[in-house]
């Protein structure tokens, strides 16, 4: 299903359709402030396995991130965050960044990587944040498989390519071409492990 959602004023009925699909174990393709992503409910194991299958990886190695509405989910899904780090996160989010943080026990076991970390995203995108707000907990997010930029910028093409593997492809306009900047904050010296759309200055 290809669902057109207005990027600035998402239709509540459309958002409700997406949230019901997620709670029912569905998998979606949705826009962020960078490239489009694969998403599902973090508590739906079968949906997580579907996302991993689409990416052809083991869930624990799939480099999955949590998309949150704001930083209020931090204390639940990550271990204690220092005040300086919290200030940094507050300064950069919402924005095109993924912060790697130590995962708490609240993170579903299926998602625990060997390093016991979780990627955290608060995208500056109305559609993504409205979905998460209505869902009332984070959305699991992964990048789409594919090498060609067009494959993950044009929603209609994504629907053609992945329509049989996912339940809903959200058309929120043409997506970006550059992924988020990944910053590993699991040690005292924060390290950019992928330079993406966001510029990083400590």
Reported as a single tens digit per residue, the pLDDT across 96-143 is: 999 999 988 888 877 766 678 889 999 999 999 999 999 999 999 998
Has residue 70 got a pLDDT over 90? yes
112/1: higher pLDDT? 1
* 73, 66 Cβ separation under 8 angstroms: yes
Has residue 81 got a pLDDT over 90? no
pLDDT for 201: 81
Q: Which domains does the chain have, with CATH numbers?
A: 2-194 (3.90.870.10)
Residue 40: pLDDT band (50, 70, 90) is very high
Has residue 62 got a pLDDT over 90? no
Average pLDDT over residues 56-81: 84
C-alpha distance from residue 129 to each of 33, 47, 112 (Å): 10, 20, 24
pTM for this predicted structure: 0.93
Q: Is the dihedral of CA 70, 72, 78, 80 positive or negative?
A: positive
- 151-178, pLDDT tens digit by residue? 778 999 999 999 999 999 999 999 999 9
* 157, 29 Cβ separation under 8 angstroms: no
pLDDT for 109: 79
By C-alpha distance, which of 7, 35, 37, 6 is closest to 176?
A: 35
Has residue 32 got a pLDDT over 90? yes
Q: Which residues contact 43 (CB under 8 A, 6 or more apart)?
A: 108, 137
pLDDT for 113: 65
Range of lowest pLDDT (1-10, 59-68, 88-97) = 59-68
- Residue 175: Cβ-neighbour burial (10 angstroms; 0-12, 13-18, 19+): buried
């Amino acid at each position: 299903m290809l669902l057109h959602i207005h990027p600035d004023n998402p239709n509540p009925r459309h958002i409700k359709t997406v949230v019901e699909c997620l709670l029912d174990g569905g998998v979606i393709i949705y826009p962020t402030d960078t490239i489009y992503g694969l998403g599902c409910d973090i508590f739906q194991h079968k949906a997580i396995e579907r996302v991993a299958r689409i990416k052809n990886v083991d869930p624990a190695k799939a480099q999955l991130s949590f998309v949150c509405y704001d930083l209020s989910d931090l204390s639940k899904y990550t271990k204690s965050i220092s005040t300086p780090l919290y200030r940094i996160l507050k300064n950069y989010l919402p924005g095109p960044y993924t912060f790697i943080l130590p995962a708490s026990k609240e993170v579903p076991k299926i998602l625990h990587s060997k390093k016991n970390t979780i990627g955290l995203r608060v995208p500056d995108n109305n559609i993504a944040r409205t979905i998460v707000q209505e869902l009332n907990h984070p959305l699991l997010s992964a990048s789409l498989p594919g090498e060609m930029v067009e494959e993950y910028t044009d929603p209609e093409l994504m629907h053609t390519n992945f329509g049989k593997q996912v339940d809903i492809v959200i058309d929120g306009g043409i997506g970006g071409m550059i992924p988020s900047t990944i910053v590993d904050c699991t040690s005292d010296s924060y390290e950019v492990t992928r330079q993406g759309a966001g510029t990083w200055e400590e």
